[in-house]
Chain A
Amino acid sequence: MDLTFLLYLSSGVFLGWSLGASEASNFGTAVATKMIKFRTAAIISSVCVILGAVIEGSGATQTLDTLGNITSLAGAFMIAFSAALTTAWMVKLSIPVSTSQAIVGAIIGWNFFAGRPTDLTILSEIITAWFLGPIFGGIFAVILYALLKLLFTHWKLHLLRKDTLTRIALILAGAFGMYALGANNIANVMGVFVKSSPLPPLALPFDIILSQEQVLFLLGGIAISIGISTYSHKVIETIGNTIMKLSPLMAWVVVMAHGIVLYIFSSSELRDLLISWHLPALPLVPVSATQAIIGSVIGLGLAKGGRDLNWSIIGKIIISFIITPITSAIICYISLFFLQNVFLQVVY
């Protein structure tokens, strides 16, 4: 592994770190209500995100790969860097940004710069998935809420036992959410480096061999974990105390609903199963965890009898669908120009 590769990979690692710092809010309620310590939440999150990335990360990565066949390491670096920069900028503007939208925009910017056509069928699948993410989040939240209501209407459980079960369920849901985040969002972090990675396969104990792609995902998973451990504390507390100031059971609904959304857009097995049942298969696309959470919270609010939709937050999500990829594409295009003509690097 040479130093140049590590230098170029740094933008992907940075993107992974910022993803871990900003989107790992699954344990928000559990940590904010002091149900579990941040340290415990960070350890569970890190393990699950790495497992999700390594085991099921390839599905969504293949979709991004079809959108832009990036074979140059310098080009991959600039795509990830542009996406990271756009994400940071949008966060500053308080827009619920998605790294998925930023990376897709940057890939399109690269396609333009390299003079390669963008596969419009794949692009439309990706954009549909962005819309479906929060909508599915809302639908799953409503279904889970109805099931929970049915369960507790018929199952007279003592409050203390219910409390114990809630705590266990919240931790399991948080772990599932992180696994799904790793599986779905690793494509954003490491997807563009897959074609240009010189990393060799890695042999682990118990005859486990990680492919070249999985080694890259392992590195990305570790970067996300470092983001969770070093910088997500404040975000987790903010989310737990403000946006997701829900009762522990409702927090479980939201975390599960968003986890299911991320999972169905990542799992190749689930897609194959749907196809074998002659059901419409969903594209394997990286979607936004934050937007799925917002969709779930809105769905839950409607299911509980709320009549007013928060149009301001919905508007911000739609704005994010438009301006995040465009901004990212422009930044990527300009940066690639400088990288090619000033720093004399081969970017495609």
Chain B
Amino acid sequence: MFHLHLSLFSKAKALEADIDRFHDKLIDASMTFTRAIKIYTTEGRNPDFEKHSKQIKQIEHNADELRRHIENNLYSYNLIPDLRADVLELIENFDKVINKIDEVTYMFYAECPDIPEEYQSSFNDLVRLSADAAENMCKASRSFFRDIGAVRDYSQKVYFVEHESDLCSRKMIENIFASDRSLAEKIQLRQFIDGIAEIADEAEDFIDRLLIFTIKRDI
């Protein structure tokens, strides 16, 4: 019994460490993304931006490997089935945000859009808001595992920041379409704005699910 008890906790400890590392990946991706877009908007696609872009790709790849590892371990670890299903769903949805960050960075890398000077600061603001939503989502998710009472606080921040990002992206789109640029340019810029704002949307979707799982486990 004592051996069983120890082995159960050592297994849990390894899995806890993996879940923590998985959360770290989103923080890494989000901070690298903010820096990469700042470099792009001011200096264009230079070697420094490319280096950051590759870093994000690597983070996304590592996160995928970690996710698969956690999912396999969750099956072998004898969790209460209902909790296992919820944790698996959370991990999958969490990964979607990292994937979105990678996807948007790659769009900048591949399409090299021309960001007019008057929109550069708005682009950086929008990126900051989306990154903020992702980071608060990460904190909420960590709290779900470690301090369930704090989930609501971080979730509220995500909702607030996501709303701000919505307002910011709409204003940018309206300004761009009110300008005398070519339609192709306008549509391309809108796609980039939508892409960045979708990071915050994904974070909000994640939080919606997380809150349901939290209510289920609230004592």
Contacts and interface: CB of A to CB of B under 8 A. Distances in A.
Given A163-B83, A167-B80, A247 B216 contact: yes
B79 A163 contact: yes
Interface string A153-175: 10010111101101110000000
B217 interface: yes
Interface string B137-166: 000000011111100000000000000000
B8 A164 contact: yes
A159 B219 contact: no
Contacts of B3: none
B12 A153 contact: no
A248 interface: yes
B5 A168 contact: yes
Interface string B15-34: 11001000000000000000
Contacts of B147: 156
A34 B81 contact: yes
Interface in A124-180: 145, 148-149, 152-153, 156, 158-161, 163-164, 166-168
B145 A33 contact: no
A112 to B, nearest CB: 51
Interface in A4-42: 33-35
Contacts of B180: none
B217 A247 contact: yes
Chain B interface size, as a band, is 20 to 34
Contacts of B118: none
A153 B149 contact: yes
Contacts of A249: 219
Contacts of A152: 219
A339 B16 CA distance: 68
B12 A166 contact: no
Contacts of B12: 158, 160-161, 163-164
A5 to B, nearest CB: 41
Given A153-B149, A163-B80, A166-B80, A148 B219 contact: yes
Contacts of A145: 219
B9 interface: yes
Nearest to B19: A160
B82 interface: yes
Interface residues of A, number: 21
B64 to A, nearest CB: 22
A262 B12 CA distance: 35
A56 to B, nearest CB: 24
A159 B80 contact: no
A160 B15 contact: yes
A164 B77 CA distance: 10
Nearest to A156: B147
A156 B87 CA distance: 18
Contacts of B217: 159, 247
B69 to A, nearest CB: 15
Contacts of A160: 12, 15-16, 19, 77, 79, 145
B219 A149 contact: yes
A31 to B, nearest CB: 12
Contact of A158 (B8, B16, B149, B216): B16
Interface string B28-56: 00000000000000000000000000000
B87 to A, nearest CB: 8
Given A34-B81, A148-B219, A167-B80, A159 B144 contact: yes
A205 to B, nearest CB: 23
B214 to A, nearest CB: 11
A167 B145 CA distance: 17
Contacts of A35: 80-81
Contact of B145 (A148, A159, A168): A159
Contacts of A166: 80
A247 B78 CA distance: 17
A159 B147 CA distance: 8
A148 B147 CA distance: 15
A33 B219 CA distance: 18
Interface of B: 5, 8-9, 12, 15-16, 19, 77-83, 87, 144-149, 216-217, 219
Shortest Cβ-Cβ A-B pairs, 4 listed: A160-B12, A159-B145, A156-B147, A164-B8
Given A159-B87, A160-B12, A167-B80, 5 more contacts: A145-B219, A152-B219, A160-B145, A163-B83, A166-B80
